Amino acid sequence: MGKTKLTAQAVDRRKIDQGKRQQDIKDQTPGLYLRLFASGKKSFIYRYKIAGRVHVLTLGAAMGSSLADARRRAEDAAAKVKNGQDPGAEAQAQAAARRRMPTVAEFADEYIERHARPNKKTWPEDERMLARWVLPRIGRLKLDAVHRRDLVAILDACRDAGHVRMPGKVLAVTRRMFRFGVERGVLEESPVVYLTERQPRPARRAMTPPEIYRWWRGTDGTHPRVPKSVALALRLLLLSGQRPGEVAGIRVVEVDLDAADGPVWWIPAERRKSHVAHAVALGPVAAAVVREALQQSDGVYLFPSSRGGPGRVDSGLNRGLQLIFGQAENRPTPHAARHTVATELEEIGLQESDIARVLGHQSTTVTGRVYVNRRSMTTQRVDLEAWERRLLELVARASEPSAVVGG
């Protein structure tokens, strides 16, 4: 064992003696050595005794830390030994903890299986948002290595992609996942604390006639960048007045164009906000949209996503409206169709209860406060056919040269 006093230059220049596989060079700091390997690697170690047995604690690679740092760590270790602690055992425990610390991708699976799936009906949406926005960017990081800036970058990317409400949704599911990590004892604190997302301004209650015209014209199948399935879904959204998620996720088995009382769309309870099934009478124009969609469906979903599975609201319907209306902050959102149907039905003389039947509201309190309000299937069919006539009339009137809005 060499007894050369270590200096910074000695650490850089010292080479192992010829023929040796390993060699320790002692420093002036008690217990600190520079360990040399035949491979050329160098590391700092600290030798100490506990109960008469010699232990070795590796302090780190010599190329990655200075001699001064190594001396400080050796002195810290010596203080622990003096107090009856074993610094090597502590280091092993910390290393084991690091090995046990899951990556974000690994913990995302645990979050979905242990929390989201058992407790949330919308857990597939959590899984989809994590897979789309979070995992590609920080999935390989250890959960405790995620910094708030990493999450800010994710929200920025979501916003830069043109999404209005998605950043807030991504933040919500990410916040819940990291909070679950704290609850499970994986983390001491969440990096999402203090992170906020400005909520977009509420959408207007209803579209103007020029906007209705632009929506209708932009979904006629001729827009070069709006997929046919998205265009048809947006048309049915405006014709039916149902919720965007209900329209985007329609399954082929939900529509019956040959029903005895006329074409109908049955929305199952598990796909509705109220968890109560709802039947939507399809007028002639809506039925024609469904027939066209059936020709290009995948046999399972009426408006399949290009990535497989059901159509999407944000990356499908909302993205389609961005292409039609541009990125303006006050442009119509998918939900604007529902407000528009309610407002226009009231305009043509329907009572609040009749409008509620069309929209599928179960609570008259909510309906009266938010939309204006629906009755039997027969009445509903009459009401929706009246809306179809009103819609086509608005489109025709707005298409006149003096009324058309550019774009």
Residue spans of the domains in the chain: they are: 8-100, 104-183, 209-398
* 209-398 is a CATH 1.10.443.10 domain: yes
User: For the purposes of burial, counting CB atoms within 10 Å of the CB of 23, is it exposed (0-12), middle (13-18) or buried (19 or more)?
Assistant: middle
For 104-183, the fitting CATH number among 1.20.120, 1.10.150, 3.40.50, 2.40.50 is: 1.10.150
For 8-100, the fitting CATH number among 3.30.160.390, 3.40.50.300, 3.40.20.10, 1.10.3720.10 is: 3.30.160.390
What average pLDDT is seen over the chain?
A: 86
User: Would you say residue 243 has pLDDT above 90?
Assistant: yes
* CA dihedral for 325, 272, 206, 291, sign (positive or negative): positive
The answer to whether 304 touches 294, Cβ cutoff 8 Å, is: no
Sheet holding 278-281, edge to edge: 255-256, 264-267, 278-281
- Residue 366's pLDDT is 45
User: Would you say residue 64 has pLDDT above 70?
Assistant: no
pTM: 0.56
Residue the block writes with tokens 């164009």: 257
The model's confidence at residue 137, banded by pLDDT at 50, 70 and 90, is very high
The SS3 of residue 2 is strand
Q: What is the 3-state secondary structure (H, E, C) of 206-270?
A: CCCHHHHHHHHHHCCCCCCCCCHHHHHHHHHHHHHCCCHHHHHCCEHHHEECCCCCCCEEEECHH
- Residue 236's pLDDT is 97
User: Would you say residue 364 has pLDDT above 50?
Assistant: no
Nearest residue to 171 via CA among 149, 190, 152, 144: 152
Cβ within 8 Å of residue 334, ≥6 positions away? 234, 237, 244, 313, 317, 318, 321
The model's confidence at residue 371, banded by pLDDT at 50, 70 and 90, is very low
The model's confidence at residue 13, banded by pLDDT at 50, 70 and 90, is confident
Q: What is the mean pLDDT of residues 130-140?
A: 95
Residue 30 vs residues 17, 51, 72, 269: alpha-carbon distances, Å? 23, 18, 11, 74
Cβ within 8 Å of residue 180, ≥6 positions away? 111, 114, 115
